[in-house]
């Protein structure tokens, strides 16, 4: 199957101003979610779910476990939306932090090891459209983060990516890299500082 068969959808508006609702930012959606707005949650889901799922999958690798963790994380976003404090960071960072924490917890739990062996990874079937979207986004998405990751030293980069994407503790990272504990924790911190400056990250405290 391919996209050729998809019927052309008649646009309702062909003006420069799109007819669709303005692309809401995660923060205003999250505030509405805190007030129990389910429609806002749906829109927030569409905005962040691919990254929430992608992050869980990157850390856990097993698609079924990633899906579980992504679901738990997204439900936690709904449940605890009132706890989000914009003075501490952006809404997306808050959501990805929840996701990453849960993914890492899963990695570290003993049960996960068993689960990984027992599961046969029922990969969800993806439509070609999904693949296209994935391909396109992946292509661009990586640019910003990767460009900045390249500005780090080898050790900074490895320490950060093994911890974040690999879900390892810094002790494990030190072992993997054959480096001392103080070195690794220092490299994680100064690497992130460099990354912060390259990406221009600011927190409006």
Partner 1 sequence: MTQPEEIHSLAGAYVLHALEEAERETFVQHLRGCVACAAEVAELNETAARLAEDTWSVPPPAMREQVLAAVRRTRQLPPPRPVREPRRAPVRWWRHPAALTAAACLLVAALVGGVYGVQEQRLREERAATLAAQQELARTQAVLTAPDATVRTADVAGGGKVTVVAAPSRDAAVVLLATHSPGAQKAYQLWLMDGGTPRSAGVLAAGQGSATHLVDGVGAADALGVTVEPEGGSASPTLPIIAQIPMK
Site residues for partner 1, window 176-205 (CB under 8 A)?
182, 184-193, 195-203, 205
Q: Does residue 117 interact with partner 1 by CB under 8 A?
A: no
Nearer to partner 1, 114 or 165 (CB): 165
- Give me the sign of the Cα torsion angle 136, 121, 100, 52: positive
Q: Contacts with partner 1 in 2-61 (CB under 8 A)?
A: 2-4, 6-16, 18-20, 23, 34, 36, 38, 41-42, 45-47, 49-55, 57-58
Does residue 119 interact with partner 1 by CB under 8 A? no
CA distance 155 to 46: 36
What span, in angstroms and rounded, lies between the C-alpha atoms of 49 and 42?
A: 10
Q: How far apart are the first and last CA of the chain?
A: 50
Nearer residue to partner 1 within complex by CB, 28 or 126: 126
Residue among 114 and 133 whose Cβ is closer to partner 1:
133
Distance in angstroms (rounded) separating the CA atoms of residues 100 and 59? 8
**SS in 3 state form for 155-202?**
HHHHHHHHHHCCCCCHHHHHHHHCCCHHHHHHHHHHHHHHHHHHHCCC
Q: Is 126 in the site for partner 1 (CB under 8 A)?
A: yes
**Nearer residue to partner 1 within complex by CB, 119 or 196:** 196
Residues 59-78 that bind partner 1 (CB under 8 A): 63, 67, 70-71, 74-75, 78
């Amino acid at each position: 199957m391919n996209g050729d068969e998809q019927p052309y959808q008649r646009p309702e508006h062909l003006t420069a101003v799109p007819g669709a609702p303005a692309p809401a930012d995660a923060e205003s959606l999250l505030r509405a979610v805190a007030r129990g707005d389910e429609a806002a949650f749906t829109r927030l889901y569409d905005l962040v779910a691919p990254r929430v799922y992608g992050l869980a999958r990157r850390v856990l690798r097993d698609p079924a476990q990633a899906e579980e963790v992504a679901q738990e994380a997204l439900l936690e976003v709904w449940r605890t939306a009132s706890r989000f404090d914009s003075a501490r960071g952006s809404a997306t960072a808050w959501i990805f932090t929840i996701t990453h924490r849960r993914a890492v917890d899963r990695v570290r739990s003993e049960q996960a090891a068993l689960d990984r062996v027992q599961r046969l990874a029922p990969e969800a079937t993806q439509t070609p459209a999904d693949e296209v979207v994935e391909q396109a986004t992946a292509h661009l998405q990586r640019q910003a983060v990767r460009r900045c990751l390249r500005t780090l030293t080898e050790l900074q980069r490895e320490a950060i990516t093994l911890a974040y994407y690999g879900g390892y503790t810094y002790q494990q990272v030190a072992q993997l890299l054959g480096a001392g504990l103080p070195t690794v924790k220092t490299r994680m911190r100064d690497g992130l500082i460099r990354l912060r400056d390259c990406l221009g990250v600011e927190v409006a405290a």
